[in-house]
Amino acid sequence: MRRSTLFLILLVIFISLMSLSACSKEEEPIDENPTIGIDEDVKGVELSIPESYPNDLVPIYPNSHLYSVVESNQTFTIMFYSKDEVSVVMEFYKNVFRNAENKMETILEDSFTSYGELDGYTYTIDVSEDDGLEGYQTLVILGVVMNQK
């Protein structure tokens, strides 16, 4: 199993658990129709970032190719590719999360994984080398969950 596939599975489990643990005593209705988009070259699906995504706080790396977008109840899981080298994308996201709280990071030569809280959101990100999409060399898997009060 490829590293990116395994991480995607773990990320989905993490986001699901965060969603459950973030529930307050006053339960909010569950979105029974989450927005899910997956780029399938055959179908030519064009994906977009949901309007409610906090792009000003956790931006999507410039000129990226969106591969998968899942949104439900202020929980976002976005997978995208970049043509830029992994080190450049890693530096971009290290800067984005430089002021995060409760942060845990793993930084290797060819990957960056971080988890923490930033301005009312919990995030997890994995940036790694991946040539799974022709012409691209970096894969980013990003999970962002709005914290409940």
98-126 pLDDT tens trace: 999 999 999 999 999 999 999 999 999 99
Contact 69, 78 (CB under 8 A): yes
Q: With CA atoms as reference, report the closest residue to 88 among 146, 46, 131, 127.
A: 127
Residue 132 pLDDT level (bands cut at 50, 70, 90): confident
Find the mean pLDDT for residues 29-57: 69
pLDDT at res. 46 = 74
Q: 78 pLDDT exceeds 50?
A: yes
Q: 21 pLDDT exceeds 80?
A: no
For the chain, the straight-line distance linking the first and the last C-alpha, in angstroms and rounded, comes to: 38
pLDDT at res. 148 = 85
Q: Of all helices (H) and strands (E), which one includes residue 122?
A: strand 121-129
Residue 139 pLDDT level (bands cut at 50, 70, 90): very high
At 56, list the tokens: 């000003």
pLDDT at res. 19 = 53
